[in-house]
Structure 1
Amino acid sequence: MEFPLSRQHFYQEIHQPDDQIDLARAALFFAQEEYPELDPDEYLNALDSMASEVEERLPETRYPLRVVQTINDYLYQDLKFNGNLEDYYDPRNSYLNQVIDRRTGIPITLSLVYLEIARRIDFPMVGVGMPGHFLIRPVADEMQVFVDPFHNGEILFPEDCQERFSLLHGKSIPFDPDYLESVTPRRFLGRMLTNLKVIYLNRGEWAKALATIERLLLLFPEAPIEQRDRGILYYQMGRWIEATQDLENYLISAPTAEDATIVRQLLKRMMEK
């Protein structure tokens, strides 16, 4: 089967060393599969223009918190970007073109807009994959502060991050300091796609969920969970040959998984029909 050109471009972008992956370009390539008329260069130019506007407003002395405040004023006061609290699970919140057009999104896509602006003004920042709420932080050894693009660029310290985590997950789940480690570009894109996958599965949109899992497997070819989920989707769609292959591979890579018995039962059911 020949993949769409947009997916081929996505594959080419992610099969580079991590430090050469262009996050925005990769995100736009996977968005292009959903929005075929999308021109990635148009949105990359939009990010360039935003960065130029921020550059003109920067103070002479670029202290990190001053730079953050300048970006915040531009994105949230002038452009009115905001976190989408009204319809958090709208799939459009996970597509960069839609986030730029609608000026609303979820933590990770708003983080991507912020990171791309920061990169263009030579203010290095990285993504922070805290479970349940993506953050970013400046790359500055002398300080450990975090920025929450979903909440208007609010500045957080590690204690604030821990409090936010507890609000999301409850105090019974311990906070691991590793949650505040930076993520690689591949992990960043993987989290964006995982969000989309969950949304499409919950909406029963099997074909879109399948396309999302296929892109996750381009990022992480050996990921057992993605093989399992693709196999289950194939089963739901009546594609039992492909389902059998994926589910058998899953059991080979994860023979003692908690759901191994259920997967074996599913395979048996397909063999008996």
Structure 2
Amino acid sequence: MTNDFERLRGLCAGDGERIDLLEAGFLLSVLGRGESIDLAPFRQQVTSMATDLADLVHRRGATPEALAEVIARSYAYRGDSETYDDLQNADLVRVIERRKGLPVALSILYMHVARAQGWTAEGLAFPGHFLIRIGIDSARHVVDPFHEGAVRDAADLRRLLRQVLGGDAELMPAYFDAVSDRDVLLRLENNVRLRLARREDWAAAARSLDRMLAIAPDREELLFEAGQINARLDKRRAAIAAFQRILELDGDPGLRQRASALLQELRRGLN
């Protein structure tokens, strides 16, 4: 597993704007299970979808609806609204096996296939429901992978927003800001972490945070939570290392102050 952690860190090094999302997602699946997986058939299925999209575009032209025709209709991928909180929905390998998952997991497949076609593809900062934007030539389209790759117009997006934020919510430009690939991966794994925390499975939640820190090693909020969980698990040296790293970063003063106080408390406990 150490090598898989190093591979994940390597994939996510740099500015994090563009990452091989598919391979990073597969590594998260392997690390989450703690056992080796033959990834060849899963890579092959995604390659087949990309090949089928290229063939469809060659025959009918480049449209965002072609993504849905291949992924949602030909390969039957859909959002899992029935068992939404099932951990399998955030495991990319299980998503491919089951042909259903969370919005962000499905989005990774859509983005990979779109990019293989030479289109631009990026996640959006839309609240509460993960959406992607596909760029084809000079046109950009908002696509909803959870709902069978539907291409969303402004009226659709307003309705979706009001389902999440309430009936008075209005669309704002910030909701259409692009997010980095690093943040897409963090969002995927955060779905795992939150579900484990709800179950109070703190040991597994700590391992999920380790995977998130492999993706974003200097995210202060992740380091702080890792420190808290490891302290809860009586893994004091791991907790101390997390809080110490926060103090080494030039970040949020309030968080640094809280980390410093907890660090002193933990160090007293070692004496």
Give the structure-2-normalised TM-score.
Answer: 0.84
Instruction: Please give the alpha-carbon distance, in whole angstroms, between the structure 1 residues aligned to 2:108 and 2:229.
Output: 29
Q: CA deviation at 1:239?
A: 1.5
Give 3-state SS (helix, strand or coil) of 1:145's partner. Answer: strand
Greater CA deviation, 119-128 or 12-21? 12-21
Instruction: Provide the residue aligned with 1:51 in structure 2.
Output: 50
Instruction: Please give the alpha-carbon distance, in whole angstroms, between the structure 1 residues aligned to 2:122 and 2:178.
Output: 6
Instruction: Please give the alpha-carbon distance, in whole angstroms, between the structure 1 residues aligned to 2:146 and 2:16.
Output: 25
Question: Match of 1:236, as an amino acid?
Answer: R
Greater CA deviation, 83-92 or 103-112? 83-92
Question: Match of 2:94, as an amino acid?
Answer: Q
Question: Match of 2:131, as an amino acid?
Answer: L
**When the two structures are aligned, how many residues end up with a matched partner?**
267
Distance 1:267 1:201, change over 3 A: farther
Instruction: Provide the residue aligned with 1:37 in structure 2.
Output: 36
Q: CA deviation at 1:78?
A: 2.8
Distance 1:269 1:13, change over 3 A: closer
- Residue 11 in 1 paired to residue 9 in 2? yes
How much identity, in percent, do the aligned residues show? Answer: 23
Instruction: Provide the residue aligned with 2:233 in structure 1.
Output: 237
Instruction: Please give the alpha-carbon distance, in whole angstroms, between the structure 2 residues aligned to 1:263 and 1:194.
Output: 25
Out of 199, 206, 210, the position equivalent to 1:210 is: 206
Distance 1:250 1:9, change over 3 A: closer
- Residue 199 in 1 paired to residue 198 in 2? no
Instruction: Provide the residue aligned with 1:222 in structure 2.
Output: 218
Instruction: Provide the residue aligned with 1:138 in structure 2.
Output: 134
- Residue 98 in 1 paired to residue 94 in 2? yes
Instruction: Provide the residue aligned with 1:23 in structure 2.
Output: 21
Instruction: Please give the alpha-carbon distance, in whole angstroms, between the structure 1 residues aligned to 2:39 and 2:132.
Output: 24
- Residue 183 in 1 paired to residue 182 in 2? no
**Alpha-carbon displacement from aligned partner over 1:48-73 (angstroms, at most 9, x marks no partner):** 11222233333545242xxx323312
**Alpha-carbon displacement from aligned partner over 1:23-43 (angstroms, at most 9, x marks no partner):** 101111121112323123332
Q: CA deviation at 1:219?
A: 2.6
Instruction: Please give the alpha-carbon distance, in whole angstroms, between the structure 2 residues aligned to 1:49 and 1:197.
Output: 31
Q: CA deviation at 1:142?
A: 4.3
Give the structure-1-normalised TM-score.
Answer: 0.84
RMSD: 2.9
- Residue 81 in 1 paired to residue 80 in 2? no
**Alpha-carbon displacement from aligned partner over 1:190-229 (angstroms, at most 9, x marks no partner):** 2112222112111222222112212222332221211111
Instruction: Provide the residue aligned with 2:162 in structure 1.
Output: 166
Q: Is the 2:161–2:170 contact (alpha carbons within 8 Å) kept by the matching residues of 1?
A: no
Task: Select the structure with the greater relative contact order (CA < 8 A; seq sep ≥ 6).
Answer: 2
Instruction: Please give the alpha-carbon distance, in whole angstroms, between the structure 1 residues aligned to 2:247 and 2:172.
Output: 30
**Alpha-carbon displacement from aligned partner over 1:115-160 (angstroms, at most 9, x marks no partner):** 1222223333222232211111221474443110101111112443
Distance 1:267 1:208, change over 3 A: same
Instruction: Please give the alpha-carbon distance, in whole angstroms, between the structure 1 residues aligned to 2:195 and 2:184.
Output: 17
Instruction: Please give the alpha-carbon distance, in whole angstroms, between the structure 1 residues aligned to 2:262 and 2:29.
Output: 36
Give 3-state SS (helix, strand or coil) of 2:254's partner. Answer: coil
Give 3-state SS (helix, strand or coil) of 1:86's partner. Answer: coil
Q: CA deviation at 1:268?
A: 4.4
